[in-house]
Structure 1
């Protein structure tokens, strides 16, 4: 089982104080414990684009 399946990665949405939707991305490792990043919608979109770019590169290497 991977660290992601074991709860080492989690993303949730929540409302900011001004009412905007925000995302909380949490990485949890045995050495550092939980590391939390708060992201705007634009930042989530940038993460998605980078993930898609990396996936395309990985597929091209097959």
Structure 2
């Protein structure tokens, strides 16, 4: 089972105190647990970069 399947990676949407939409990404590893908070714009940038990387990986086949 991969670390993503067994709960080592998780993303959740939440609302910040000022009412803006946010996302929290958490990684659990053998050395600890790490949290990253992103704005909607930052999530969109990550999504764009993931799409770019996936295209590169497909082209390398």
Mark yes or no: TM-score above 0.5: yes
Structure 1 runs of 4+ off > 2 angstroms? Answer: none
Structure 2 Cα separation of the partners of residues 2 and 61 of structure 1: 24
**TM-score of the superposition, structure 1-length normalised?**
0.94
Corresponding residue SS for 2:18? coil
What root-mean-square deviation, in Å, do the aligned CA atoms of Structure 1 and Structure 2 show? 0.6
Q: Which has the higher helix share?
A: 1
- Could you tell me which runs of 5 or more consecutive residues in structure 1 were left unpaired when the two chains were aligned: none
- Could you tell me which runs of 5 or more consecutive residues in structure 2 were left unpaired when the two chains were aligned: none
Per-residue deviation, residues 23-47 of structure 1 (Å, max 9, x unmatched):
000011112x110000000000000
